[in-house]
Amino acid sequence: MSTGDPAGAARDRNADRPGVVTAVAVLCWLVGTIELILSVLLIVLAAIRGVLPAGETGNILVSTIGYLIVAIAYLAVGFGVFRGVDLARVIVLLASVIHLGVGLYTALTTQPVAGILSMGLAVAIALPLWVGRGATWFGRGKTDATV
């Protein structure tokens, strides 16, 4: 129990963080890092004539820009998720919705398997923060102002 000390309250809150929240924070960092590296690599490869299939370069670049945006968002909010910042949870949801859209675009235009895996990752990252123990943990910090 906290004694009114904000640092103590944060320690108490982090001590009972569910494993799914920790897993989502780690997934944000891992997926964000991997997608950032691969996006930069694909942008570099697209600049080299003849490396990527000529007919698919445009579709690949659209997907790559989408994945780059998602990667930056996931990396930016990973620590916020870990600490239980509700805004971070909302940003993860928005990034995951974009991730779903980019995954669908990828699946329909260039790489079906990669797109489906990407959509699965988006759901695996966002869903645990909004259902079950993750939702309960994020909701605990709120107070009812109408009481």
The predicted-structure confidence for 66-90, as pLDDT tens digits, reads as follows 999 999 999 999 999 999 999 999 9
| Of 9-13, 36-40, 130-134, the least confident | 9-13
**Tokens of residue 17, six digits:** 């963080």
pTM of this prediction?
A: 0.81
Q: Is 26 helix (H, G, I), strand (E, B) or coil?
A: helix
Q: Please write the tens of the pLDDT for every residue from 83-112.
A: 999 999 999 999 999 999 999 999 999 899
Q: How many CA atoms lie within 13 A of 24 on its CB side?
A: 31
Per-residue pLDDT band at 53 (split at 50, 70, 90): confident
Distances (CA, A) of 88 to 28, 38, 79: 11, 24, 8
| pLDDT number for residue 57 | 81
DSSP states of 31-99: HHHHHHHHHHHHHHHHHSTTTS-GGGHHHHHHHHHHHHHHHHHHHHHHHHHHHT-HHHHHHHHHHHHHH
pLDDT computed for residue 144 by the predictor: 47
**Residue whose pair of structure tokens reads 């494993």 in the numeric block:** 19
Distance (Å, rounded) from C-alpha 69 to C-alpha 92? Answer: 12
